[in-house]
């Protein structure tokens, strides 16, 4: 592992209070570290670790301008978080006035598990409306004049108060892989049980998040990449809600749906790299894949990216799929060829959208 990746995890652990000491290496390229931390979604948490070093008398040879730039970046993350939360609450209130319940998926709800919620970067607002998706989109269009994009597979997309909203009618893209069909049925059942109200919005149950969040992480890991921030989403969820999970039943389910090996290496990363208590996780073992999994999180093997040009994109996608065969085997029970066939059909159905 490169020095900057080691430095990243060192500051994340220290910033989260998961380590009593911080070993700051010499000759750190702070600009490179800041760029990596932003890319991994942990810029604010790494700065928390750096600030804790200053407070505890640990030498950090960062120049003044770089620190000011980093503080400015974190300030923007905090501002964006507030804007995202405000828009989410306003959207929930709009739907509530029309008798529509709005469940918030991932994002803001997961941030509440963090020590400092607004140090988790905000993304899209993902919502589920309990079968009212079409009526809700019509209301958004007719009453607010907002255009709704329906070119995606399992959700529509629109912009509300400057924030991108994904309005889900399915939790998983059932067009991409066969195993998603089985899990989607389970998630639809869990979505209607034991949820909690947060103002006009609704947050999913622990049972729902235990399945949906893990599958969401697996989808990102298997298709392109998974960031440290996404790993932290899982780690903090387990830390806060693990006592509410029926572990014997849950692990049996993960084995049934082919996600146990992914759950295993993800938990090992939380413990070994991020400093979380091993007692939080159940049934972990090292099957020899952990080293490759760790390297893939911190520095993905396949680095070629689509550049917007058709021929290059047509070249990147199949090569990335071929390279990611090992990741698909780790995350899913589907065969790579079955996944390829389903994915090709999904691309034909919705050419502009290809999210797993």
Task: Name the percent of the chain lying above pLDDT 70.
Answer: 88
- Contact in structure between 133 and 156 (CB atoms under 8 Å): yes
Position 288 scores a pLDDT of 87
* Residue 60, SS3 per DSSP: coil
Query: In this model, does residue 316 exceed pLDDT 70?
Result: no
Query: What is the DSSP code string of 245-298?
Result: S-HHHHHHHHHHTT-HHHHHHHHHHHHHTT---GGGS-S----S-HHHHHHHHH
Greater pLDDT, 223 or 11: 11
pLDDT bracket for residue 77 (50, 70, 90): very high
For residue range 115-143, list pLDDT tens digits in order: 999 999 999 999 999 999 999 999 999 99
Lowest mean pLDDT among 28-32, 111-115, 167-171, 334-338: 334-338
Lowest mean pLDDT among 94-108, 169-183, 304-318, 331-345: 304-318
CA dist 229 and 332 (Å) reads 22
Position 346 scores a pLDDT of 55
Query: In this model, does residue 304 exceed pLDDT 80?
Result: no
Greater pLDDT, 355 or 173: 173
Greater pLDDT, 328 or 188: 188
Q: Return the H-helix or E-strand segment holding 197.
A: strand 196-198
pTM beyond 0.95, yes or no: no
For residue range 34-69, list pLDDT tens digits in order: 999 999 999 999 999 999 999 999 988 899 999 999
> What mean pLDDT comes out for the span 298-325?
66
Measured torsion, CA atoms of residues 117, 119, 122, 127, in degrees rounded to the nearest 10: -20
Residue 217: partners with Cβ closer than 8 Å, 6 or more residues away: 226, 230, 231, 233, 234, 262, 266
CA dist 171 and 148 (Å) reads 19
Query: In this model, does residue 91 exceed pLDDT 50?
Result: yes
What is Dmax (Cα atoms) for the chain?
59
Position 354 scores a pLDDT of 42
Going by C-alpha positions, the residue among 28, 36, 31 that lies closest to residue 53 is 28
Greater pLDDT, 97 or 334: 97
CA dist 168 and 172 (Å) reads 9
Greater pLDDT, 219 or 178: 219
Position 356 scores a pLDDT of 44
pLDDT bracket for residue 336 (50, 70, 90): low
């Amino acid at each position: 592992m490169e020095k900057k990746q080691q430095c990243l995890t060192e500051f994340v652990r220290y910033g989260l209070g998961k380590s009593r000491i911080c070993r700051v290496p010499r000759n750190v390229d702070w600009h490179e570290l800041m760029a990596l931390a932003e890319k991994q979604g942990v810029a604010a948490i790494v700065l928390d670790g750096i600030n804790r070093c200053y407070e505890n008398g640990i030498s950090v040879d960062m120049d003044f301008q770089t620190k000011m730039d980093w503080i400015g970046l974190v300030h923007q993350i905090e501002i964006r978080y507030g804007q995202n939360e405000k828009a989410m609450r306003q959207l929930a209130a709009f739907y509530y006035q029309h008798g529509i319940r709005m469940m918030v998926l991932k994002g803001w709800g997961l941030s509440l598990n963090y020590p400092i919620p607004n140090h988790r970067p905000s993304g899209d607002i993902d919502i589920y409306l309990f079968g009212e998706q079409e009526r809700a989109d019509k209301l958004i269009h007719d009453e607010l004049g907002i255009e709704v994009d329906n070119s995606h597979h399992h959700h529509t997309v629109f912009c509300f108060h400057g924030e991108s909203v994904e309005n889900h009618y399915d939790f998983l893209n059932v067009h991409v892989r066969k195993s998603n069909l089985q899990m989607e049925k389970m998630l639809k059942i869990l979505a209607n049980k034991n949820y909690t109200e947060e103002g006009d919005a609704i947050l999913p149950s622990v049972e729902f998040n235990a399945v949906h969040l893990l599958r969401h992480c697996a989808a990102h890991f298997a298709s392109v990449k998974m960031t440290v921030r996404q790993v932290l989403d899982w780690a903090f969820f387990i830390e806060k809600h693990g006592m509410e999970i029926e572990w014997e039943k849950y692990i049996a389910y993960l084995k049934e749906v082919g996600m146990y090996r992914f759950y295993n290496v993800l938990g090992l990363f939380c413990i070994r790299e991020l400093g979380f208590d091993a007692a939080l996780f159940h049934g972990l073992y090292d099957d020899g894949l952990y080293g490759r999994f760790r390297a893939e999180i911190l520095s993905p093997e396949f680095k070629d990216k689509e550049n917007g040009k058709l021929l290059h994109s047509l070249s990147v996608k199949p090569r990335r799929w071929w390279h990611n065969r090992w990741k698909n085997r780790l995350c899913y029970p589907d065969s790579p060829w079955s996944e390829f066939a389903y994915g090709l059909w999904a691309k034909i159905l919705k050419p502009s959208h290809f999210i797993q």
